[in-house]
Structure 1
Amino acid sequence: MAGVATPELAAAVCEAGGLGSIGVGATDADGARAMINATRALTDQPFNVNLFVHATAKADAPREQEWLQALRPLFDQYRTKPPSALQTIYTSFADDDAMLAMLVKEAPPIVSFHFGLPAADRITALKSVGCTLIASATSLDEARKIEAAGIDMIVAQGWEAGGHRGMFDPALPDDQLGTMALTRMLVAHSSVPVIAAGGIMDGAGIRAALDLGAVAAQLGTAFIACPESSADEAYRAALNGEGARHTVMTRAISGRPARCLANRFTTWAAINRFDVPDYPIAYDAGKALNAAARSAGESGFGAQWAGQGAPLHRVMSASSLVATLWHEAGQSN
C-alpha cells in the first residue's frame, strides 16, 4: 500500500492491537526514515516497513517509445504531450545501499519484502540488528526460496489481492492461486509461519484463514476507506462505485501485474494490447497520464489498487475497524 498507508494509519492499527505497516517502496532512504520516525512518534508498538525488491528494470528505448506513442491519443484528449522519454522512478531495495544503511541504523521491528528477496548479505545485516523479516509468495516455489533464505514468515498472497502481484518473475506463468488454496498449501509444506493475504475484508475471512493454519491475516483494501489513509476523494468514490465490483489485473499502469478498480485506463488497456515497458519504467508514463487527466477533472487513470473484496469495505476509523475485525473473528466459527 505504498502511497496509501500513512504513518497515521499504521500507528492507529498498532495502537488498536494489530500490526500496522508503512510502504516505503516508492520513496528513497530519507523519505523512508521520515516515515519511520513519524510512525514512532505516534506509537511505541511494533510496526512493519515494507520494501519492493523487484528485478532491476531494463531500459528499452524502442519499446518505451512505442508505448508512449500508444498512449499519445490519451494524452491528446487532455491537451498534454506524453513524456519525451521514460525513467526508472523507483529503486529496488536490491540495489539501494542507502536504504539498507538507513534500515540497519533505524532497526525497525519488522521488515517485509515484496516482488522477491534481497541478497543474503542484506538479509543478514537486517537480522543482525533484530529485524523480523517477512516476504510475500504467490506460489510454493517462491515460498521455498523464502524459507531457504532464512526469512521468518511468509505472506501467502492470493490472486484476489489488491495492488501488485508479488511474483518474483512476472515473465513466468502465473498459476493464479487463490488465497485459501495457497495458504493451505504453504501451511502444509512450509516450516515457517504463514500469513494469509488477498480478498480478506472482515472477521469471517480472518477466521477462515486461521482455520486453514495461518498465524495471521493481512488486510489492505479494507483500510483504504479509513480517514487515516492517504487515498484521495476520487479513489474513495471509485471504491464505492461500479469499478469495485469488477477489479482488474493489469500491467498497463505500472509495468507489472496489479489488481485495481476497473477504470478508463484498464478499459483502454484491455482493448489496446501493447508491449508494456518494465516496471517501474512504465509507471512513469502512467503517472504522467494520470496527472494530465486529473488536471482536466478526470480521475479514471489513477492507480486505484484494490482487491476482489472491495465491495465489502466499511468506512470507519482504523482503530474502530480493527476492533470490529477482532469482534467478528471471535464470533465467527
Structure 2
Amino acid sequence: MSTQVDDRALLRSLGIQKPIIQAPMAGVSTPALAAAVSNAGGLGSLGVGAMNAEGARKVIRQTRELTGKPFNINLFCHRPATADAAVERAWVDWLAPVFQQYGATPPQKLAEIYTSFVVDKPMQAMLLEEKPAVVSFHFGLPPDAVIAELKHAGIRLLASATNLDEAAAAVEAGVDAIVAQGIEAGGHRGVFDPNARDEGLGTFALTRLLVQTFDLPVIAAGGIMDGAGIAAALALGAQAAQLGTAFVACPETSIDEGYRRTLLSDAARHTTFTSAISGRVARSMVNRFTTFGEQAQAPRTPDYPIAYDAGKALHAAAKAQGEFGYGAQWAGQAAPLARELPAGELMAQLERETRASIERLQSVWG
C-alpha cells in the first residue's frame, strides 16, 4: 500500500519547475518542441522509437543546442514482430485497390520498420553515451540489465502503464515514476500485451488507483488538454500531468497540413481506436484509413510495426494526390480543445489556467 509521497519529489528529481510533461509523440515531436517546453519550465520529450541509434543521437544533440534544461527520450519496448508472409500478402492485397485509386503500387514486401528497444543494442549503447536526463518506456519494459545500466548512468526512468499489473511490473523493475495512460489518450495504447484483455481504465480511475497502491510518483496522461485537467490530475494525487494532443497543433511539431487542419476542425470531435494503420491499437481521429479498417471483411492485420510499413506507404501515395485521410492522425478524446499556439505560449497559458482552477476549487470550499 502506498505511503505519502512528497508532492514535489518528482519535479525536483527531474529538475523541472512545473508539473507539465509534453508527451513524446514519435513522428510529431521535434527538438524545437521539446526545448520550448523545457525552457518554459516543464519537461519536453522526444519520441525516438521510430529512429535508429544515430538518428536518435542527432535529435538529442539538436535539442541540447536549444536548451540546457532536462528533457525526456521515449523508447518503444514492444515484443519484436513475428513475420508471416501469408498474413502480410493478404493485407497488401486488401489495401491494393486503395493504392490503385491514388495511382500507386503497394509494396511487394513489408518490413519490420522499427526495432524494439528491448533488442536494440546500438540504441541502448547510445543512451549510455549521451546520458539524457530522462528516459521513458512505452509498450512494456526493457530487460532488467538495461534498466540497471541506465540507472547506473544517472538517468531517471519513467514507464507507462494502463493497469495495476503493468504498474507493478514497472515498480518491480525499478523505474522512478509511472505514467498512468488512461483510455482517453491519443496515439498508441501502451498495453504491454496487445493480445491480453484491455481493462480500458480511464485517466481519473487509473491515476487514483496507482497513487493509492504504489509509493512511486504518478504522472496522469490521457484526455488532459488544459489547466483544469492538470489541476484535476494533481487533485487526484498525480505529481504531474502529461499532455500530448494539447501540443500537436503547436507550430514546432512536424505534422503535415492535413493533420493540422483536421485537428483544428469539427472532425476532432470524433476519435476511434484502430489497428489498421500500424498493426497496434491506437486512438486516431476518424479518417479514411480508420473507416476502411473497420470493414467486416478486413483480413488479419500484420504485427506491429510491419503493418505500419504498408500504412506509411499508403499515406504517402494518397498524400501525393492531396488526400491526407490515410495518415496516422493520432488524437485523444478531448482533441476539440486543441489550440494552435507556440509551445512557450501554450505552457504559459496552461500555468495560468491551472492556477485559476486551483483558486476556484479553494473558493468553492471556502
- Taking structure 2 as the reference length, the TM-score comes to 0.90
Aligned to 1:206: 230
* Pairing 1:58–2:118 present: no
Aligned to 1:170: 194
Letter in 1 for 2:197: P
Aligned to 1:95: 119
Distance in 2 separating the partners of 1:145 and 1:178:
20
Letter in 2 for 1:299: F
Q: 2:228, 2:354 within 8 Å by CA — same for their partners in 1?
A: yes
SS of 1:196's partner is strand
Letter in 1 for 2:60: I
SS of 2:273's partner is strand
Letter in 2 for 1:274: P
Q: 2:264, 2:339 within 8 Å by CA — same for their partners in 1?
A: no
Letter in 2 for 1:97: K
The Cα shift of 1:297 comes to 1.0
Aligned to 2:169: 145
The Cα shift of 1:231 comes to 1.1
The Cα shift of 1:200 comes to 0.1
The Cα shift of 1:80 comes to 1.3
SS of 2:294's partner is helix
Q: Which runs of 5+ in 2 are unaligned?
A: 1-24, 362-366
Letter in 1 for 2:300: D
Letter in 2 for 1:122: V
Distance in 1 separating the partners of 2:273 and 2:36:
30
Q: 2:210, 2:218 within 8 Å by CA — same for their partners in 1?
A: yes
The Cα shift of 1:201 comes to 0.1
Over residues 197-254 of structure 1, what are the superposed CA-to-partner deviations in whole Å (9 max), with x where a residue is unaligned? 0000000000000000000000010001111111111110010223311111100000
Aligned residues: 333
Percent identity between the aligned chains? 61
Describe how 1:1-333 pairs up with structure 2 within 5 A. Answer: 1-272=25-296, 273-332=298-357, 333=361
SS of 1:93's partner is coil
The Cα shift of 1:81 comes to 1.5
SS of 1:83's partner is coil
SS of 1:173's partner is coil
Distance in 1 separating the partners of 2:131 and 2:122:
14
Distance in 2 separating the partners of 1:35 and 1:249:
30
SS of 2:140's partner is coil
Letter in 2 for 1:142: E
Over residues 52-95 of structure 1, what are the superposed CA-to-partner deviations in whole Å (9 max), with x where a residue is unaligned? 01101000110111111111111111121111110000000001
Aligned to 2:20: none
Q: 2:158, 2:176 within 8 Å by CA — same for their partners in 1?
A: yes
Over residues 248-277 of structure 1, what are the superposed CA-to-partner deviations in whole Å (9 max), with x where a residue is unaligned? 110000000001111000111112432101
The Cα shift of 1:313 comes to 0.7
Distance in 1 separating the partners of 2:285 and 2:183:
15
Deviates more, 1:233-242 or 1:301-310: 233-242
Distance in 2 separating the partners of 1:190 and 1:283:
35
Distance in 1 separating the partners of 2:302 and 2:331:
23
The Cα shift of 1:295 comes to 1.2
Letter in 1 for 2:236: L
SS of 1:271's partner is coil
Letter in 1 for 2:120: D
Over residues 112-131 of structure 1, what are the superposed CA-to-partner deviations in whole Å (9 max), with x where a residue is unaligned? 00000000010011011100
Distance in 2 separating the partners of 1:271 and 1:243:
20
Distance in 1 separating the partners of 2:195 and 2:142:
19
Distance in 1 separating the partners of 2:91 and 2:149:
39
- For the aligned residue pairs, the C-alpha RMSD in angstroms reads 0.7
Distance in 2 separating the partners of 1:59 and 1:160:
31
Extract structure 1 runs of 4+ deviating beyond 4 A.
none
